[in-house]
Amino acid sequence: MAALASTGRVADEWRMESIGGRPSTRLTWIAAALGCGACALAARMGADARWLAAMGASMLRAGAIPHAVPYAAAPSAGWHDAPALGQLVFHWLETLAGDRGLIVAQVAAVGVALAALALDLGNARVRDGSGAAVLLATFLALPAAFLVVRAELFSLALFPVLLLLVRSDDRRRSHRIWLVVPLLVLWANLHGGVLVGLFVLAVYLLLRRLRRAPAESTAVLALSGIAVLATPQLLGSVDYYTGVLRGPVVSEGYGLWGPLTIDQPLDLLLVAIAIPLVILALRSRPATWELLVLALLIAGSVEARRDGLWLLLFTAAPAARGLSRTGMRTPPLSGRVALVCACVPLLMLTAGLSTAHTSGGAGAQLVRRAMLAAHGGPILADPLDAEKLALAGGRVWIANPIEAFAPSEQRLYLAWLRGEPSGAAILQRRIHVVLVLRGSEPQRRLAADPAFRVLAEDDQTVLYRRTD
């Protein structure tokens, strides 16, 4: 009985209430933990992940940051590799534990993101049930962002941290705003999504903080602009950012850079959840700077579905405030029930990280077969399989980072991936071996091309070789 009483006291102390009477955040933190557990169970590797490990390995072998993509035959000389640190991190994780290491990194990124959001919600003094509901809605709206391992995982983790710093300063101005400068330096060396963070920070500093502390705000903004250039490429970082934003992938709206459409289930899910959250955010009467950021992120999300991530992460805190204003209340959660609920995500996390995750694309045996068939020549492959080949030491024609190549080669590759007739010209680029996903547009065209025949296949991919 004494032990039970002690357990009850410990549980009752787990309210995380401040002296000022901050509402309990049990449900909010349980929701964050559930998100991490779900990620551990369902995360999978995506395109735009393994190439970082391949680039990191090339960097270590050369002892320098390359100015071209070493595993690709298409011309890429003059590329400015700004986020080289992120590639070294991916290489270290992949060397340490293979795909599982990258899955763990994704879970950690999701954990940091949801924890930063939970802290922000606690600082905003929202009702516990409202905070938990918004966190779960944000997670459910973005399965491709939270459950698929991509280079974007660095930005997924660091964007909410920047929001936490900015909104904490907005509530009570302090010198902690200077922490955004080293944060942006780190972020710029990991992923190009740092530009989104700089944008949000600049709007806040110019529209909100400048009139209260003009000298300090100007200095923070100036150093933040310098911070995004504090990569090994220095001013060459500008070429890196413009190469991404002005490249054919963005201009033609390929993949996650494409606009929201009603024929994509994940787009419909995002819209169905984002609209109520935005309405709730407006109900909270956000500041002018938040309204401007919100409007621009909405416009960006319509044009490029990948921006939906930044929109919902930014909207979470004001949406929870708006939901709290509705008067919706949740039944009190006893300490013992809270402890039991907290065990569920822990079990999910343990089960997920101890289970082998399926990997899309070609299996290891087919990857080796493709490399042997190519005899050191370039292999044409879809993005996912091209990254697998690069990581295995193979040579491909073109792959991620796609922005490193000439715009003409990018457009040709995108046309081939979409199955457009003009894309067939890429097969004349000294291509004798092609590895494609079964049922994809390139695979259907190759199946009807007498110049190629099936050499081998597995459950997900088909390997073709030129017959002439």
**Euclidean distance between CA atoms 399 and 70, whole angstroms:** 11
Residue 336: per-residue pLDDT:
60
How far apart are alpha carbons 229 and 226 in whole angstroms? Answer: 5
Structure confidence at residue 347 (pLDDT): 72
Per-residue pLDDT of the chain (468 residues; tens, 9 = 90+): 343 344 344 334 333 333 333 444 678 888 898 899 899 888 888 888 899 999 999 999 988 998 899 999 999 988 999 999 999 999 999 999 888 899 999 999 999 999 999 999 988 888 888 888 999 999 999 999 999 999 999 999 999 999 999 999 999 999 999 999 999 999 999 999 999 999 999 999 999 999 989 999 999 999 999 999 999 999 999 999 998 988 899 888 888 888 888 888 999 999 999 999 999 999 999 999 999 999 999 999 999 889 999 999 999 999 999 988 776 665 555 556 556 666 766 776 676 666 766 677 888 899 999 999 999 899 999 999 999 999 999 999 999 999 999 999 999 999 999 989 998 899 988 889 999 999 999 999 999 989 999 999 998 999 999 987
* Two tokens, residue 303: 């044009």
- 186: tokens are 């780190």
**pTM score, two decimals?**
0.89
